[in-house]
């Protein structure tokens, strides 16, 4: 089977390496021709995934038609904020799994909603879970979910892309999976901020737990299932992103907690930190659905420079008391 991977960032490269290990013919598409040529020549994505060699069965190209020609499956691995622009450039697609997390600014669409509007004729689903790119590239044990309302797609994709080190589960709730994948980046910024500000592990645990309740509220309001949020694409991804030192969102929050400016932190990075754009977009989407998300609101205010981390936490702590519930 030929697999086309659209997007040559760290996660796209890691998925391409993994797919090649399963025996598939894999072509990785990079938007920039210079980067594609460098990766093909050096057999490494030095800027985004250094130290991980590309298998012999993996080709890199900047020609989207070449990448997609004859492909039985595509993995769309581009940032949520750029997805519409990339889709507008691509030729016809085979059944596609979206491996991006976020909410589009302006339109407030989830990635699968963007795809459904632009490519309604293509069967599509979501690949999501608690996965750091470098660990998947290294072949370390990991698990994720393939979520789609198309049973044939999710079963075939999970079968084809599973391996002894990467276990994939089928899921019929792509809305819940996408909400979990997007919102965990926002909660991770909050978790990093309280640790960076020296507010303690108790504060982080409280934010993660109540953050999970926020995610479940929004998932259900948008037509997803609360149970999905307790799985790999919700709780699993949240735990990894809020505790793992490799998390871009956690480390950004950590820097904010230490008093660094958002601009200074972003200037040092060559990859996208999705939670920065997702926070205000998700807050607006929640408001439209009538869902309260106080932690997301606090993160949005901190990112906008309206309040510092300590002030945001004080505001959260001063909220009216209520009975605890999972939603």
Q: Which positions are catalytic?
A: 184
CA distance 95 to 123: 5
Which tokens go with 257?
Answer: 């907690």
275-288 vs 248-257: helix axis angle to the nearest 10?
A: 90
Nearest-CA neighbor of 215 among 154, 291, 107?
A: 291
Rg, the chain, Cα only: 19
DSSP state of 93: -
Classify the C-alpha dihedral 63-150-114-144 as positive or negative: negative
In Å, how far are 39, 50, 90, 261 from 61, measured between CA atoms? 9, 19, 14, 37
The gap between the terminal CA atoms of the chain, to the nearest Å, is 43
Please give the structure tokens belonging to residue 74. Answer: 């595509």
Contact 264, 251 (CB under 8 A): no
Q: Can you state the percent helix, strand and coil of the chain, rounding each to 5?
A: 50, 15, 35
C-beta neighbour count of 166 within 10 angstroms: 21
């Amino acid at each position: 089977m030929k697999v086309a991977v659209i997007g040559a960032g760290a996660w796209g490269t890691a998925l391409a390496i993994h797919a090649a290990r399963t025996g598939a013919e894999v072509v990785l598409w990079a938007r920039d021709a210079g980067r594609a040529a460098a990766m093909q020549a050096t057999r490494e994505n030095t800027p985004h995934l250094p130290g991980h060699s590309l298998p012999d069965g993996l080709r890199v190209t900047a020609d989207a038609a070449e990448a997609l020609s004859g492909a039985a499956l595509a993995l769309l691995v581009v940032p949520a904020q750029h997805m519409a622009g990339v889709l507008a450039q691509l030729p016809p697609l085979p059944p596609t799994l979206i491996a991006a997390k976020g909410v589009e600014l302006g339109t407030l669409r989830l990635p699968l909603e963007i795809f459904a509007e632009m490519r309604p004729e293509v069967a599509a689903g979501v690949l999501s879970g608690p996965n750091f790119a470098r660990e998947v590239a290294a072949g370390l044990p990991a698990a994720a979910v393939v979520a789609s309302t198309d049973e044939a797609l999710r079963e075939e994709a999970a079968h084809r892309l599973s391996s002894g080190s990467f276990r994939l589960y089928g899921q019929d709730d792509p809305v819940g999976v996408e909400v979990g994948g997007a919102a965990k980046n926002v909660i991770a910024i909050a978790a990093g901020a309280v640790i960076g500000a020296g507010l303690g592990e108790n504060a982080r645990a409280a934010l993660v737990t109540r953050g999970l309740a926020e995610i479940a509220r929004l998932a259900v309001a948008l037509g997803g299932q609360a149970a999905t949020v307790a799985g790999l694409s919700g709780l699993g991804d949240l735990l990894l992103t809020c505790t793992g030192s490799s998390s871009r969102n956690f480390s950004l929050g950590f820097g904010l907690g230490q008093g660094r400016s958002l601009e200074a932190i972003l200037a040092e990075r060559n990859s996208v930190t999705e939670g920065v754009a997702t926070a205000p977009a998700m807050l607006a989407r929640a408001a439209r659905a009538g869902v309260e998300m106080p932690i997301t609101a606090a993160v949005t205010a901190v990112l906008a420079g309206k309040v510092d981390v300590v002030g945001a936490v004080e505001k959260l702590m001063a909220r009216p008391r209520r009975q605890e519930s999972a939603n």
